[in-house]
Amino acid sequence: MIAGLVVWAGVLLLCHVLWGWVPVLDSANLAFHEAGHPLFGMIYSGLGVYGGTLMQLLMPAACAFESLREQKQGGFYFCVIWFAENLLNIARYMADARTHALPLVGGLDPELYHDWSNILADWGLLSWDTTLAFCVRLLALGLMLWTLWQAWQWQQVQE
């Protein structure tokens, strides 16, 4: 199991280094992200801008919780690494808050519809976009390493 998790995390990290995203997986993550805007916006209109990021993190978190509930330890670790990979996506989007270099879905105007540009501007932190993104990247890498460590320790106990 640990070897599979190391490969999983390694492939995800390699894709982020080479291309900035993971083919197929990040298309699904983007669908979750986009679905989150109207879903959270229906709860409260002010949540709409946060809904994309929230849903993008909620999906792997829910899968991790369900794996843990069903005592599927390998699935739990897999989903936590998926969660961490989503943090890498969020960091990339966050770092783009001022430059608007990333294309938005549907070609929307980034001046109006860039989530993290709007969020950080509202919080008065727009000039901190790259610093905050760096911190989120560190959190993602730390979470991946912690997960691999936990999986290794769990596997040692099982043997």
The tens digit of pLDDT for each residue in 42-52 reads 999 999 999 99
Query: Is the Cβ–Cβ distance between 115 and 93 less than 8 Å?
Result: yes
Q: Does residue 159 sit within a domain?
A: no
Q: Does residue 129 sit within a domain?
A: yes
Give residue 95's domain range.
Answer: 25-99+112-152
Q: Does residue 12 sit within a domain?
A: no
Phi first, then psi: give them for residue 114, nearest 5 degrees. Answer: -80, 110
Q: Does residue 15 sit within a domain?
A: no
All residues at 6 or more sequence positions from 57 whose CB lies less than 8 Å from its CB, including other chains: 83, 86, 87, 90
Q: Does residue 148 sit within a domain?
A: yes
What's the structural domain count of the chain? 1
Per the listing, tokens 């989120």 go with: 136
pLDDT in tens, 83-121: 999 999 999 999 999 999 998 887 777 777 899 999 999
pTM metric for this prediction: 0.94
